[in-house]
Amino acid sequence: MSKLMQRCAEAGLKMTEQRKVILKVLEDSEDHPSVDTVCERAKSVDQSISIATVYRTLSILSELGLVLKHDFGETFARFEVTPDAAHEHHHHLIDTETGEVIEFKNEEMEHLIHKIGEQLGYDIVEHNFELFGHKIKK
């Protein structure tokens, strides 16, 4: 059983065959797919999966905190499996020209974020950080 499927079972989510396909698509995604992309990939495995099923499944997974819904300034949302451990925490750099989403980690930035929280009298328990830019042309 995959990690995401196990997390769904622990959350009490009924596991239909269509949901299993959608979960596999999400886990296998190295990008941050849109609903349409998830549906297209799922349909290549099971033609009976509809866009409505994908929307419902992603909505439920998002409500359960198992999937993150991102707004990267496009006309559609993108999704990724919620990291289940602190070492998987990452941020995003979005290329404003191509729409490419680059994941990155930076320990100095993490330290600074927590330091700022302490200076303001807070213990930071969660944060999101997204950068938008375009490649420097040489």
Q: How far is CA 94 from the centre of its chain?
A: 14
Residues 75 and 106 in one domain: no
**Residue 104: inside a domain, yes or no?**
yes
Residues 16 and 75 in one domain: yes
Residues 91 and 76 in one domain: no
Q: Quote the pTM value.
A: 0.74
Name the residue range of residue 42's domain: 3-81
For residue 9, the domain's CATH number is 1.10.10.10
Would the pLDDT of 86 be above 50? no
Closest by CA to 101, choosing from 79, 85, 86, is 79
**Residue 138: inside a domain, yes or no?**
no
Residues 43 and 94 in one domain: no
Would the pLDDT of 1 be above 70? no
Quote the number of domains for the chain: 2
Residues 64 and 93 in one domain: no
Decide which of 61, 81, 101 is a domain's last residue.
Answer: 81
Closest by CA to 13, choosing from 85, 63, 47, 84, is 63
Beta bridge partners of 78: 70
Q: What is the mean pLDDT of the chain?
A: 88
pLDDT at 118: 95
